[in-house]
Amino acid sequence: MRYFSFLYQEKTDNGRPLLARADFEQLFRMGFSIPPFPLKHKLKLNLTPKYRKSILETTVFYCFNNFAQNQKNKLIFQKFLAYHFEDFSQYQTDEELKKWSKNFCAGKLNKKDIPFDLKRYEDLAKTP
């Protein structure tokens, strides 16, 4: 899960990472997995006006675009966010996820909004 290592490597403008390394390791201990239902204790991102939750939303979307074997089912990637992160907890039902999927697309999510070099992490994900 080197692609998502930006979560603890990149520092926000308040000097802290979006997610503590221990939380990152807990999140990906089983790989990119989706629990069968939303977790009771979700992770909270360290957000600032410059480092918004849309950064994670955008990077997860581009992970889906670049690395997913099934390019038709982005619901899995949306559930990953909704079930693990407090910041996306408003999306719990299939209906809410489907509504969100209209905005979970290249036209709405732009790499230009990411305040660090995402290509570096994309390259990390491609190396064995």
Residues 13-28 have a mean pLDDT of: 94
**Tens-place pLDDT, residues 51-106:** 999 999 999 888 888 877 766 678 888 898 999 999 999 998 889 988 888 888 87
Paired residues of 31 in beta bridges: 29
Q: For Cα atoms 52, 65, 94, give the angle at the middle one, nearest 5 degrees.
A: 70
Domain of residue 73, residue span? 2-126
Q: b/e per residue, 101-114, with b = 16+ CB within 10 A?
A: eeebeeeebeeeeb
- Give the model's confidence band at 43: pLDDT under 50 very low, under 70 low, under 90 confident, else very high: very high
- Say how many domains are in the chain: 1
87 contacts: CB under 8 Å, gap ≥ 6: 44, 45, 47, 53, 56
CB atoms within 10 A of CB 54: 16
Please report, to the nearest 10 degrees, the dihedral formed by the alpha carbons of residues 17, 111, 121, 104 taken in order: 90
